[in-house]
Every structure is written in C-alpha cells, then in structure tokens.
Structure 1
Amino acid sequence: MSATLFLAAALMAQAPTTLTVPAPTIEGGDVGYHEIMAGRPRAAIERIERSDLVRKQDPLALINLGTAYKLIGEKDRAATLYRNAASSDERYDVQLSDGRWVDSRRAASLAMNRLSTNEVLALR
C-alpha cells in the first residue's frame, strides 16, 4: 500500500503546475472580434487600442490587435503583438472563432504560424 501512495505522490509531483482558466468576460467587445470578422480591421484596431487591455498586455487583445494589423498588411507589427501575447504574464483559455478553446499562449503560437497565410485567427 505504501508503494502505491509513494507512486501516486511522485506522479502528482510531476504534474504540470500551470493552470489556465477561461478568459475574463470583456464588456462591449473591446477585443475587436466583431470588427475583424466583419472585415473591418481598422475599426478593430481603433476599438482595441482605445481600451486599456493592450497596455495591460492582455493576450486576447494583443492577438486580435495583431490579427487586425496583419489584415492591413503590417505583418511585422502583428508578429510583435503575437510574441507579446505568447510571453504575457496573463494566461488563460480563449475561444477561437471556430468555437475551440485553447490556451492563450497556444493561440498566439497559432497566429504566429499563420502570419504568412490569409487565414484569420480572431478570439472571442
């Protein structure tokens, strides 16, 4: 019995200590999702930059802002925003436009990998 308890304790010690949680609810669509999906990236940029989320390094806002900049052809700026999202102190689960939930760092990585494509990665 004690060997079983020791094994369980050893396995639990190896478990990842990072726990992600769903993204906080953001009032008023400050992350520009609707604007991006409607093909209005400049409106998305305006909305996101007007909020204080970018200053707070919120990964959801950074990724959507990066996507908006990508859509207007500013891919270097988009890449910087995606990298900032990937290294943000904030980390939580975000919902992709296709309905899937992923960790915000994974979403930033997906966005970075799709930078040279026409695919739009927007987070709700």
Structure 2
Amino acid sequence: METANIDDLKTAVRGILENKGILNEVKTKLRGEIFKSLQDESDDKQPPNKENAIINELIIEYLEFNNYRNTASLLKTESGQTGPQLPRSLLCEELNIIDETANIPLLYGLIAYLQKQSRS
C-alpha cells in the first residue's frame, strides 16, 4: 500500500473513533489503569476522609448526570472510591439538607440555594 493511503486510512479510523467517543474512552481507561497500577505500588495511599468522600460523591454525581462518565471513572479510580456510591440520602444527611431536587445532582441544588441566599 502507498504511504498516502495508509495515512488516509489512519486519519479516517481516528476520525470515526473520535466521533463515536471511543478514542476518549480508551484514553481514559488507560489513564485509570496507569493510576491504579501506580497506587497498587504505593501502599501508603489512604482512603479519602469523610469530607473528601462527600465532595467526591457530589462531583461524581454531577459528572455522571452530565454524561462525563469517563471523567467520573477516572475520579473514582484516583480518589480510591471505586466501590458503590454513597446513597443520596446519606449525602443529604451529612450536608444537613433536604433533597428537593431528586432528578438533578445535589450540586445544582446547593448552587441554587447559595445564589438565593446571596440575593437576600
């Protein structure tokens, strides 16, 4: 095959993978596996403290709601929160808030509350 044809084929395949989101997904999984292997080698990494775990959960919920699943997956891996997510009711209890926004991430509700308070 000619070099130009191979380059065209590479470009076409790359474009298809990028358009379908597969290329970013593979890159994210690779980064996650790299972080995981580095963490496995250093046993001194502690699980996140309570406050960090809550903040991470709020961010993960936001990311997944907005279909940033690759970023959420990477955050879970880097933070060590690879187990099941904390229940939303527990997050509300820890933050001492009433869940009035069950269909959207808690971060949206917190922002709306803070904006409302700053206008008062």
In the superposition, the TM-score normalised over structure 1's length comes to 0.28
Larger relative helix fraction: 2
- Bigger radius of gyration among the two: 2
Larger relative strand fraction: 1
